[in-house]
Amino acid sequence: MKRYNHRQVEKKWQKFWAAKKFFSARDFDARKKQYVLFEFPYPSGAGLHVGHLRPYVATDILARWKRMEGANVLYPIGWDAFGLPTENYAIKNKIHPRIATDRNIKTFRRQLKATGLSLDWNREVDTTDPEYYKWTQWIFLKLFEAGLAYRAEIPINWCPFEKTGLANEEVVNGRHERCGTPVEKKLMKQWVIKITKYADRLIEDLELVDYPERVKTQQINWIGKSEGADIVFPIVDTQIKRFVLLHGRQGSPQDIFFPWLAQKLLDRGYKVEIPELPNPDKPNDLEQAEHVRKHCRLDAQTVILGHSFGGVVALRLLERGAKAHSVVLAATPISGRFNDNTKRPTVTEAVKRGFDFEKVRKSADRFIVLMDETDSIIPASDGEKLAQALGAEYRFIPGKSPHFTGSQEPGIYEAVLPSLRVFTTRADTIFGATHLVVAPEHPIVGWYLSHHHAVSGVWNIKEVSEYVVVAKKKTDITRLAEEKEKTGIELKRFSVSHPLSGRKLPVWVADYVMMGYGSGAIMAVPAHDERDFAFAKKYKIPFLPVIKPTSVDARDDRPEPSAVGRADIDLVASCWTGEGMLINSEKYNGLPSERARQNITWDLEKIGLGSKSVSYKLRDWVFSRQHYWGEPIPIIHCPDCGEVPVPEKDLPVLLPNVKRYEPTDTGESPLAAIAKFVNVKCPRCRGPAKRETDTMPNWAGSNWYFIRYADPKNKKDFASRKKIDYWLPVDLYIGGMEHTTLHLLYSRFIYKFLYDQGLLAGSEPYSKRRSNGVILAEDGRKMSKSYGNVVNPDDIIGEFGADTMRMYEMFLAPFDQMVPWDSRGVKGVRRFLDRVWIDINVMIKEKKWRRAQKTSSRQMSQAIRKITNDLGDLKFNTAISSLMIAFNGEGGRPDWRPKLNTEEKWEPVGGAESFDLAATEAFLKLLSPFAPHITEELWALLGHKESIQLERWPEYNESLLAKDTFKIPIQVNGKVRDVLEFAATAEQHEIETQALNSPKVEAHLKGKTIVRTIFVAGKMINFVVR
C-alpha cells in the first residue's frame, strides 16, 4: 500500500481547482448568496505564520461547507498594502515600497494557495492599486462634501519613531500600538473625520447585528456615551457694565434672538444697547459703524456682539479706535464668498476693503468667534481665519436655527456673558460644587495669563504659567507613572458665580481635567467625586456634602451635615459617589438624586445657564499621516478659494514615483518636497495652488474593501449598486479582537456614511461577526520574528501537508480562544488522516461494499447531525473530534465499516465483512471542508469522475437517530450506583423494578426507605432514600 503522499496529492488538486474555477462567485445567481469574509492581510515582508491562517482556514471550511449546501459563496481575498510597516521595510532594505509590496504579495499568494483555500482569485483587490485607491479618495471627497472631513489645528498623538500623527484608536496605554513608542502630544494642522457625528448610531445599531457580546461592549465603552448637563458659571469681577448688540444685514433689534438676549442681560443687571443700524437691506459697514460710534457708549467696560454683518461693523468700529472689554463675532463673513452661490454684493464689497487686524486686536481684551455648525451659507473657514487673525477663541457650535437665527440662542448668551461651561453627569450635586477646575489647555487659562494687566491685585501669573508649561509637556506615559497624584494651581483673583446659589467659587487649573472631553472644565464636588475628593484633600479645599446615602449598603461613615464647609477636612474618610437624598441644596432638599438631576437641569435651562447634554469619549478621527506610502488626500489648497476638492474626473491623485520617501522631522510628509506634485493650478480659479501632501492612514483603504469585492473591476463606480445589493451585507466576518475599536468601528462608520449618501441599501456592513483567538508560540509568547519563535506554515505543510495543518489549527482549541501552538500535537491529526487513507484504500481494494442510496449507519447519521450543527456554531474542534469518532468508532468498530488490522495483514475485526458505501462517501464529504485534498483524492479513487466539491452536503437519516436500546444510570441519592441497558420501549415501572433488583443498587438501599423516585425518560433514574 502506498503511503499518503501529501506533496503530490495537494499540488495536483490545487492545480485542478484553479483550472476549473470552482470557487468563482457568480453575480446575481439564483442560489442563495453567502458572503464569507476574513480581514484581508497586510502583506508584510515576514510572510504568513500559522497564526494568521487560523481565520482563513476557518472561513475556508465554512465556505466549502456552504457551497456543498447549495449556496452561491463569495469568498474573496485582497491586500491591505499601504502603510508604515512596508515603508519602514522599504527604507531599511532600500527597496521601493511598490516593489517590496509586490514581492510580499507574491509570497502571501503562494502561502495561501498552498494552504488550499477556496478563494475567488478573480476578485483580488489591492489598496495600493490606483484603480482601487481612486475610490478611497472618492469616498474621502464625499466625506469632505458632507462636511465630515475638516482640517483642524489640534493637539494630536504623535509617534516620534515613525514620525507621524496617529488616531486615538492607535494609542494603547500611551504608546503607539504598532511600534510601542511612547506617544507625544503635538499641535498640528490635521485632517480630521467627524466620526463623532455617528456616535449614537454606532451604539444603537449594534442591536441590528450578531456580534460577540464583548465586541459590542468594547465598542460601546470606547464610544463612551455619558448623558448629563452643561452648566454655565458666569465669571465675576469682570468689570463689564454694558453690552452693545449689533444686528446683521436685513436684521433689526426686534428680530431673532436679540430681544431674548437683551432681557437675559438686563436681568443680570447690565445695561444693554441695540442700535437700529441704517439701511439694513443694503448695509454699508462704514456708515453703520459711524452710526454706532455716535449713538452708543463704547469703552473698556463694554461687550460688543456682532451678529453676521454686525460682526463686520464691529470690526470696523474697533479698527477705528473704539474700545471694548470683549468682542463676540457670531457667524461673521469675512471672505465674501458664500456656499449657496448667491451674491450678496454689499457684504462682499464691505469685506473686500480688508481689516487692520493688528489695530482691532489692541482695541479689546478678549475675542470670541462663533460659527454655527448648521450654517450652510457662511463657509466655516471664514470663522477659522477670523479667529486666527484675531487670536480669538474659536467656537464651532450648533445654533438653535441655522446662522444663529433662533428666537433664543444660548450659545451666544454664553459667549457674550463671560463664563465657564462645565459638563457633569451629576447636576444633582451642584450645591456641593466648591470650585471649578479647568484643563491646562483651556482658553480661559491663556486669557488669564495674557490679560493680567486688566485687573489690579495679586495675580499668580508666574506660578500658573509655569504649571501650565510643565503640564502640557507631560506625555500620557509620565502622567500614568505619576500614580494619579493630582496637581493643580489656583487662578488667584479670579472667580465664577454659582448659577443657582450665586456664591463665588474659585477656579483652579489641574491636569486631571482633560481638554478633549466635555468642555475641558468641571465643577468640583469633593464630597461626591473621588477625584475631586483627592484633589480637595491635597489642597485643603473645604467641601460640602449634598447627597445623603439612603441605601442600606451605603457607607454611612460620612460627616453629618453640621460639618458643612468646615476646613478641617481630616474629619472625612471618604466621599459618597452613589445616589441618595439631597441635603444642603436649598429648595431641592429631600429629593432623590435622580429626580433632582432632572429638576436642576430644567431650572438651569430656564435661566439660560444650563442644558441637557451628552458627551462621548470617542474623538474625531485623525486622518492625516505624514508619510509617503499611503493614498494622497485629494485636496488642493488655494490662497483664494481655500480648500478645494480635486474634481472627480482628475482622480486618482497618483502617488508620485520618487527616490526618497523617508519621513521628515518637520512633521511634513515627504511628498511636500516634490515640487512637481505640490504645485498645481486651483481647479476652481485656475490660480497657482498647492496640493495637500499628507496621506491617509491605512484604515482608509480597509474601510470599504469588502464592498469592492462585490464588483472589483468597476471603472465607473466604487461598485455597482446592483452588485452591492446582491452581495452585501457580509454574512459572516471573522477577524481579531484587536480590530474592535479600529477597523471594525471605522468600517461600520464609513458604511453608514455611504448609506446616508444613498449609495447602498443597508446601514450595517456585517450581519455576523466572530472573533478568532490568537495562536501563541510554543513558549506562550506572541509569535514574532524578534523572539525567533515563529512557526512557518511552509514548514508544516512541507512535513505534514496542508490538510493536517488546517485540521490541527481547528482542532487545537475553541476557535475564539487564545492558545499556544504545540508541535507535538500536529502528529495526532496526521495519524488520523493516515488511518483514513490506509483504511479507505483497503476498502477500495477489497470492494466488499454494501450499496444503498443512503447510509444505514446510525453512527454516521449522528456524526452528520453533530458536525453540521458544530459548523453552524463555529465549533470546529468538536466537529473534528466527531469526525474521529465517526471513523474510529466508539469503544469498538463503527457500524458502517469493519475495523481493519495493519495494511499488510488486513482482516476485518469483529465479524462484519462489508462496508457501507453510502456511509463511506458521507464520511468523505464531511471531512472534505477540513481536509479538501486527501478527500478529493480518495473520492477519485472510489471511482468518481467529478470533484467531491460538487457534491451535496450529506443529510442524516432522522429515523436512524432513535436508538433501540439505551443505557441509563441508576442513582441512589444522586450518586450513580449502576448502569443498566433497556429497550427504547421500556416503561418506567419496568426500569424501576430492574433497577431495584440490581445487586449494586440493593447494597445502597439496605435498611433504608425510598421516599421518592425521580425518573427522567431516557436519561436516568434516581432513588431518594432515608
Q: Which residues inside 202-221 make contact with RNA, applying CB under 7 A?
A: 213-214, 217-218, 221
Is 369 exposed, middle or buried, given 0-12, 13-18 or 19+ CB atoms closer than 10 A? buried
Residue 811 in grid coordinates: 482542532
Write a three-state SS string for 773-819.
CCEECCCCCCCCCCCCCCCCHHHHHHHHCHHHHHHHHHHCCCCCCCE
- Applying CB under 7 A, does 576 fall inside the site for RNA? no
What is the nearest approach in angstroms of RNA to the Cβ of residue 84? 19
Residues 6+ apart with CB under 8 A from 875: 814, 815
What is the nearest approach in angstroms of RNA to the Cβ of residue 500? 16
SS3 190: strand
Residue 833 in grid coordinates: 488522516
Q: How far is it, in rounded angstroms, from Cα 490 to Cα 409?
A: 32
> Known binder of ligand: residue 186?
no
Task: Report how many residues bind RNA under the rule CB under 7 A.
Answer: 85
Residue 170 in grid coordinates: 492607535
What is the nearest approach in angstroms of RNA to the Cβ of residue 10? 19
Site for RNA in 814-843 (CB under 7 A): 814, 817-820, 822, 824-825, 827-829, 831-832, 834-835
Near RNA by CB under 7 A: residue from 23, 198, 222, 800: 222
Site for RNA in 731-750 (CB under 7 A): 737-738, 741
Near RNA by CB under 7 A: residue from 185, 531, 595, 865: 531
SS3 155: strand
User: Which single residue is written with the C-alpha cell 493688528?
Assistant: 358
Cβ distance to RNA smaller for residue 133 or 222:
222
What is the nearest approach in angstroms of RNA to the Cβ of residue 174? 8
SS3 830: helix
Residue 133 CA neighbour count, 13 Å, CB half: 26
Cβ distance to RNA smaller for residue 125 or 536:
536
User: Which single residue is written with the C-alpha cell 494651581?
Assistant: 489
What is the nearest approach in angstroms of RNA to the Cβ of residue 425? 4
What is the nearest approach in angstroms of RNA to the Cβ of residue 235? 19
User: Which single residue is written with the C-alpha cell 507574491?
Assistant: 106
Site for RNA in 978-997 (CB under 7 A): 979
SS3 444: helix
Cβ distance to RNA smaller for residue 792 or 881:
881
Transcribe 976-1012 into DSSP letters: EEEEEEEETT--HHHHHHHHHH-HHHHHHHTT--EEE
- Sketch the per residue contact string, 396 through 435, with RNA: x for CB under 7 A, - otherwise: ---------------------------xxxx---------
Beta bridge partners of 423: 230
Contact 926, 882 (CB under 8 A): no
Cβ distance to RNA smaller for residue 760 or 863:
863
What is the nearest approach in angstroms of RNA to the Cβ of residue 489? 14
Site for RNA in 900-929 (CB under 7 A): 901-902
Residue 502 in grid coordinates: 450665586
Near RNA by CB under 7 A: residue from 152, 673, 884, 941: 884
Site for RNA in 761-780 (CB under 7 A): none
Site for RNA in 296-315 (CB under 7 A): none
Site for RNA in 491-530 (CB under 7 A): 511-514, 516-518, 520, 522, 529
Cβ distance to RNA smaller for residue 578 or 687:
578
- Sketch the per residue contact string, 670 through 709, with RNA: x for CB under 7 A, - otherwise: ----------------------------------------
- Applying CB under 7 A, does 885 fall inside the site for RNA? yes
SS3 706: helix
Q: How far is it, in rounded angstroms, from Cα 73 to Cα 67?
A: 6
Residue 953 in grid coordinates: 452536503
Q: How far is it, in rounded angstroms, from Cα 42 to Cα 82?
A: 8
Site for RNA in 26-55 (CB under 7 A): none
Cβ distance to RNA smaller for residue 607 or 1016:
1016
Which range binds RNA by CB under 7 A, 123-131, 404-412, 847-855, 966-974? 966-974
Print burial letters for 339-368: b (CB count within 10 Å at least 16), e (below 16).
eeeeebebbeebbeeebebeebeebbbbbb
- Paired sense of beta strands 76-79 and 120-126, if any: parallel
Near RNA by CB under 7 A: residue from 284, 346, 868, 888: 888
Report CA dihedral (912, 918, 919, 920) to the nearest 10 degrees: 90
- Sketch the per residue contact string, 840 through 879, with RNA: x for CB under 7 A, - otherwise: -----------------------------------x-xx-
What is the nearest approach in angstroms of RNA to the Cβ of residue 828? 3
What is the nearest approach in angstroms of RNA to the Cβ of residue 896? 17
Site for RNA in 468-487 (CB under 7 A): 479-480, 482, 484, 486
Site for RNA in 319-348 (CB under 7 A): none
Contact 246, 314 (CB under 8 A): yes
H/E stretch holding 906 reads none
Near RNA by CB under 7 A: residue from 973, 983, 990, 1010: 973
Residue 155 CA neighbour count, 13 Å, CB half: 14
What is the nearest approach in angstroms of RNA to the Cβ of residue 838? 8
Site for RNA in 597-656 (CB under 7 A): 615, 617
Cβ distance to RNA smaller for residue 50 or 968:
968
Cβ distance to RNA smaller for residue 501 or 901:
901
Q: For residue 419, which of 299, 515, 303, 546 has the smallest C-alpha distance?
A: 303
Contact 695, 677 (CB under 8 A): no
- Paired sense of beta strands 324-330 and 364-372, if any: parallel
What is the nearest approach in angstroms of RNA to the Cβ of residue 991? 14
In this structure, the chain runs to a length of: 1026
- Applying CB under 7 A, does 11 fall inside the site for RNA? no
What is the nearest approach in angstroms of RNA to the Cβ of residue 11? 23
What is the nearest approach in angstroms of RNA to the Cβ of residue 832? 6
Cβ distance to RNA smaller for residue 231 or 387:
231
Cβ distance to RNA smaller for residue 217 or 388:
217
Near RNA by CB under 7 A: residue from 268, 1000, 1002, 1005: 1000
What is the nearest approach in angstroms of RNA to the Cβ of residue 670? 30
SS3 159: strand
- Applying CB under 7 A, does 784 fall inside the site for RNA? no
- Applying CB under 7 A, does 812 fall inside the site for RNA? yes
- Applying CB under 7 A, does 2 fall inside the site for RNA? no
The CB density around residue 206, as the number of other CB atoms within 10 Å, is 17
SS3 52: helix
User: Which single residue is written with the C-alpha cell 472689554?
Assistant: 325
Cβ distance to RNA smaller for residue 178 or 291:
178
Residues 6+ apart with CB under 8 A from 665: 163
What is the nearest approach in angstroms of RNA to the Cβ of residue 605? 17
- Applying CB under 7 A, does 1016 fall inside the site for RNA? yes
Transcribe 374-430 into DSSP letters: T-SSS-HHHHHHHHHHHT-EEEEE--SSTTT-SS--HHHHHHHS-EEEEEES-GGGG
Cβ distance to RNA smaller for residue 15 or 484:
484
Cβ distance to RNA smaller for residue 750 or 775:
775
Q: How far is it, in rounded angstroms, from Cα 194 to Cα 146?
A: 10
Contact 939, 837 (CB under 8 A): no
- Applying CB under 7 A, does 99 fall inside the site for RNA? no
Site for RNA in 239-298 (CB under 7 A): none
Binding residues: 785
Binding residues for ATP: 785
